[in-house]
Structure 1
Amino acid sequence: MQFIINHSSMEPIYEQIMGQIRSGIAKGTMKEGDALPSVRALAKDLKVSALTVKKAYDGLEQEGFIMTVHGKGSFVTCSGQDIYLEERRREVEEELAAAVRKGRSCGMEQEELLELFQMVLEEP
């Protein structure tokens, strides 16, 4: 997996690493049992501190996305994938609910909202 770090982003580097690994698991490009690069190797490749990569790996392990075996490395465990996908669905649901509330506050009726939603779904 190729990691891309945006050093000018306001998002901390360890969170960027975590997000890319979560995304890889969710998309299926990283599968259960896949080995992650060692902390030192990834830190060297990304030109960041090993502590930054360690923080990302520790966070992913706490969330259930990876497992670290001392002396062997870190490996993908898909036990966190379902939790991640459910969390993302909940975020989408909350954003849709907010959009409906905003539309209703502007006087839009259900039919209008459904029509608008259908138009948005059809956009590429």
Structure 2
Amino acid sequence: MRDDRDDPFGDIFDEIERMMNQMTGAGTHGGDSGFGTETHVSVQHEDEEVRLLADLPGVGKDDIDLKCDGRTLTISARSETRRYDERVRLPVRVDEHSASASFNNGVLEVTFDAMEPSADIDVE
């Protein structure tokens, strides 16, 4: 059985996909701006916390949908004139159930508790 966490090329392929989407305009709706154009996304990993900030101009709090599988955060936001769809690969595995999010003045902030990268197993 394959474990995606052990894929040595996962980060490279995610970055290539992100760049291709940015160049081709994938993830935008009807030519409207989406991630990679006027939207800035930053991810910070500090000690035991991962924090993501995303600019989502022109959308309301109720127009945002967030999903996380522990490694990737999916942000979908839509208004009458804009649509944003982005998958953000997180720098470390996170506890998706620890997530908290706020949205103020067009800026989305999401925080997670970082998980230990791996556990040591004692052989007896």
Q: TM-score range by the shorter chain?
A: under 0.3
> What is the TM-score of this pair, normalised by structure 2?
0.24
Give the structure with the higher percent helix: 1
Rg larger for: 1
> What is the TM-score of this pair, normalised by structure 1?
0.24
